[in-house]
Amino acid sequence: MSEIRRTWALALALGWLGCASSPPPAPAKPAAPAAAGPRSPDAILADSVAAMGGAAAWNAHKTVHLKVSVMLQGMAMGGPAEHFQTKTNKSLTVTSLPAVGEIREGSNGTVFWSKDPVNGLRLLQGPEAEQARIESAWNADLEARALFAKIETATDAPPGQECLTMTPRAGAPIRACYDQRTHLQLSQEGVHATAQGDVPFHSTVSDWRSVGGVKIPYASQTQAGPMTIVTTVNEVTFDEPLDEKMFEPPAVAQTAPPAQPPPPAAPAPK
């Protein structure tokens, strides 16, 4: 469930979700002795998946439905969002913003699409489709080797962190950093492809809590170009039945061509 990668429909950007209404997180375990030199990407990813509850706990769920609040700081604008996701990497995010309207981003697992009042309905292609494929993954760290063309350990990680540079099949690389003690993800940065062009972003996540046997972050903040997006989740429901049709791109309204005047009558024979 890559719910921490997709409410961002709204600002073209991306934000990272978290969830609410759960008990406080358990105290962190004592830090393990630091290993000499950077670890392998597979070791870092394996520890991240384990810290989030483990593959078995993630795979025990089939769907998730999140109710989210989105705030655009400095613009006095915000609104609700809902995110629907299936284990088969189908997703739909619906964001409502005053004076903007409804913004939708979805995937049926094969086709990636978006619809908003400015750009209308678009079937995503190239880097936009590739980042949507990654963002629609049930758990991107668990599926990382299938999602990314190349994953490398960064040698310039800040103290107390481990970072990975993950290169998709199309588009710019993504840098993800993890807490060296808890192995939970702390941040992600890169360049997000949008209809208006490429937008640099930097996201941080915090307040990880257990929900349904897995851990997800309750709070996130994304800097996307000049915009700061803050997201929190108000409600989360696992394994709710979802209509598969909701993930399909909306049908394009067909407008009938204007009626043409009848051809002039042939002149009568003399």
DSSP 222-242: EEETTEEEEEEEEEEEES---
Q: Are strands 77-86 and 120-123 parallel, antiparallel or unpaired?
A: unpaired
Q: Does 255 reside within a domain?
A: no
Q: For 217-224, what is the mean pLDDT?
A: 92
Does residue 14 belong to any structural domain of this protein? yes
**43 within some domain:** yes
Question: Bigger pLDDT: 1 or 69?
Answer: 69
CATH code where residue 195 lies: 2.50.20.10
Residue 2 has pLDDT above 50, yes or no: no
Residue 269 falls within a domain, yes or no? Answer: no
In this prediction, residue 252 has a pLDDT band, given cuts at 50, 70 and 90, of low
Domain range spanning residue 232?
A: 3-22+37-236
Domain assignment present for residue 88? The answer is: yes
Residue 250 lies in a domain: no
Instruction: Residue 228: name the closest of 64, 75, 80, 101 by CA.
Output: 75
- How many domains does the chain divide into? 1
pLDDT at 12 over 60: no
Give the whole-angstrom CA distance, residue 172 versus residue 193: 9
Mind listing the pLDDT tens digit for each residue in 27-75?
Answer: 344 444 445 579 999 999 999 999 999 999 999 999 999 999 999 987 8
